Amino acid sequence: MSKYNIYIDESCHLQNDFSKSTMCIGYIKIPAENYEVHKQEIHKIKLKHKTPVETKWEKISNSRIEFYRELIQYFFNSEMEFRCVLVKYKENLNHEEFNQGDHNNFYYKMIYYLLTNQYFNPAEVNEYKVVLDIKDTRSNDKLNKIKEVFENKHYGKSPFKEFQHIRSHENPLIQLADLFIGAVSYKTRLQFEEIQNPSKAKLQVIEIIEKLSGYTLNESSEPWEGKFNIFDHQPKKRI
């Protein structure tokens, strides 16, 4: 049985945040025994480019484009995998009808859809440790609920053996997830005309990711795509 670590981050996940149309939640997955290898390689890239700051989408600047280019190239040359759930038309979400009136219930569903897929994370042969970025004061309550959801779905035999919250600055792979979901969200918000003066540096990073992944970041990949998988979820508005 193989063991994997999954590092999750989310963007525009709050009900009333700066994006009215878009939410994205995604992960980086690696074999558990190789965490230190990837941590050290990313650290070397940061040292090479004299980049001491946390690797985050919001910190992208023209002066660090080559750092991000090499970091993204490292991901695509490595065994690491990325997957995200992209929610478009967030304003169409009907929490009263589908989520027991609670936006948090929708958040738990997105975690479930992110981790559960017929092509990924098979329950029969692998075990998983899931690490999430702390976002708010209710993080512990959410963590307990996520554990409960998976135990119930797997009748007490969930392959997701451990859930843990940490701060993103403590983990380079959560930061990498932040970079990718930031790019996916930004490209989608451009589609919805929520960004009036787009950052040239961020557009460059999006171009790098699209070229290496072979996908347009505001659209779904093939369902079976293993390296860079985007699931485009569009809640429908009742008429």
- 149-159 pLDDT, tens digit per residue, is 889 888 888 99
- 8-49 pLDDT, tens digit per residue, is 998 754 444 545 678 899 999 999 999 999 999 999 999 999
* Residue environment code for 77-113, b if the CB has 16+ CB neighbours within 10 A, otherwise e: eeebbbbbbbbbebeebeeeeebeeeeeebbbebbee
Break the chain into its structural domains and give their ranges.
2-233
Q: What is the CATH number of domain 2-233?
A: 3.30.420.10
At 11 the pLDDT is 75
